[in-house]
Structure 1
Amino acid sequence: MTRRHVRHRPDPVALPVPEAPIDPERGGLYTATELYDTTSYADSLDARAYAWSREPKSPERARLRALHDFAIDEALDAWIDQRSIVGVMGGHAALRGDPTYLDAVRLGHELGAKHVVATGGGPGAMEAANLGAFLMSRPWGEVAGVVDRLVGVPTFLPSVQAWVAPALEVVRDVGERPQASSLGVPTWFYGHEPPNVFCDAIAKYFRNATREAILLEICDAGIVFLPGAAGTVQEVFQDACENYYALPGRAAPMVLVGRAYWTELLPVWPLLERLSHGSPMEGHVHLVDTPTDAAELLG
Structure 2
Amino acid sequence: MAHPHRHGHRHDREIETLEEFDRVAAGGSLVGWRLQALDLTDRTAALMAADTTAAVFLGCPMAPDAAAKVRADGALVFPPVPDLPFAPYRGLLYTPDELFAGLDAEHGYAATPDARTYAWFQRTMRDGDVFASMLRSVHDDAISDALDERLAGVPVVGVMGGHAMARGTDAYAGAARLGRSLARAGLTVATGGGPGAMEAANLGAYAAPHPDGMLDEALLLLGKEPSYVPSVGAWARAAFDVRDRWPGGGDSIGVPTWFYGHEPPNAFAGHIAKYFANATREDGLLARCTAGVVYLPGAAGTVQEIFDNATPNYYGSRGEPTPMVLVNRTHWTEHLPAWPLLRALAEGRSMASRIALVDTVEEAPEALLRLAAAG
- TM-score range for the pair, normalised by the shorter chain length: over 0.9
Match of 1:44 among 109, 112, 115: 112
Equivalent position of 1:151 in the other structure: 223
Partner of 1:233: helix, strand, or coil?
helix
The answer for the alignment partner of 1:207 in structure 2 is 277
1:127-206 matches, cutoff 5 A: 127-177=199-249, 180=251, 182-206=252-276
8 Å CA contact retained: 1:88, 1:223: yes
**Aligned-partner residue type, residue 119 of structure 2:** A
Whether the aligned pair in 1 keeps the contact of 2:253 and 2:270 (CA below 8 Å) is: yes
Tell me, in whole angstroms, the C-alpha distance in 1 between the residues paired with 2:316 and 2:7: 14
**What amino acid does structure 1 have at the position aligned with 2:138?**
L
Secondary structure in 2 matching 1:112:
helix
Deviation at 1:44, TM superposition (A): 0.3
Q: Report SS of the residue matched to 2:352.
A: coil
Runs (5+) with no aligned partner, structure 2: 1-5, 15-33, 37-57, 60-78, 370-375
User: For each residue in 1:44-93, what CA deviation from the matched residue of structure 2 results, as whole angstroms up to 9, or x when unmatched?
Assistant: 00000000001122011111111100110100000001211000000100
Tell me, in whole angstroms, the C-alpha distance in 2 between the residues paired with 1:248 and 1:280: 13
Deviation at 1:139, TM superposition (A): 3.0
If the length of structure 1 is used for normalisation, what is the TM-score? 0.95
Cα distance change on mapping 1:50 and 1:132 into 2, 3 Å: same
- The answer on 1:32 being equivalent to 2:96 is yes
| Cα distance in 2 between the residues matched to 1:282 and 1:5 | 30
1:236 aligns with 2:306: yes
What is the distance in 2 between the residues matched to 1:249 and 1:214?
16
RMSD: 1.6
Deviation at 1:17, TM superposition (A): 1.0
Cα separation, 2, equivalents of 1:98 and 1:4: 40
Deviates more, 1:279-288 or 1:125-134: 279-288
What do residues 175-199 of structure 1 show as CA deviations (whole Å, max 9, x unaligned)? 224x53x100000000110000001
What is the distance in 2 between the residues matched to 1:58 and 1:190? Answer: 20
Paired AA for residue 315 in structure 2: Y
Alignment correspondent of 2:144: 73
1:240 deviates by 0.3
Matched, 1:266 2:336: yes
Q: 1:132 corresponds to which letter in structure 2?
A: G
Matched position secondary structure for 2:274: coil
Deviations 1:271-295 (A, max 9, x none): 1011001223121000011112111
The 2-side partners of 1:46 and 1:285 are apart by 36
What amino acid sits opposite 1:130 in the alignment? N
Does the 8 A contact of 1:247 with 1:280 survive in 2? no
Q: Partner amino acid for 1:282?
A: A
Residue 26 of structure 1 aligns to a residue in which SS? coil
Q: Which runs of 5+ in 1 are unaligned?
A: none
- Identity between Structure 1 and Structure 2 (%): 50
Partner of 1:11: 35
SS in 2 for 1:287: strand
Residue of 119, 130, 134 corresponding to 1:63: 134
Query: In structure 2, how many angstroms separate the alpha carbons of the residues matched to 1:44 and 1:7?
Result: 33
Relative to structure 1, is the Cα distance of residues 72 and 277 closer, same or farther in structure 2, using a 3 angstrom cutoff? same
Give the residue type in structure 2 aligned to 1:28: L
User: Deviation of residue 201 (structure 1)?
Assistant: 0.2
User: What CA distance in whole angstroms lies between the structure 1 residues aligned with 2:337 and 2:228?
Assistant: 30
2:21 is aligned to none
- From 152, 169, 183, give the equivalent of 1:98: 169
Structure label with greater radius of gyration? 2
C-alpha distance in structure 2 between counterparts of 1:50 and 1:33, whole Å = 17
CA shift, 1:298, in A, is 2.5
Contact 2:324–2:368 (8 Å) recurs in 1: no
CA contact (8 A) 1:183 1:200 kept: yes
Is the Cα contact below 8 Å between 1:7 and 1:77 reproduced in 2? no
Match of 1:286, SS state, is strand
Shift of 1:138: 2.1
The alpha-carbon deviation at position 249 of structure 1 amounts to: 6.5
Structure 2 counterpart of 1:45, which letter? Answer: P
Give the letter aligned to residue 313 of structure 2. Answer: N
- Relative contact order higher in (CA < 8 Å, ≥ 6 apart): 1
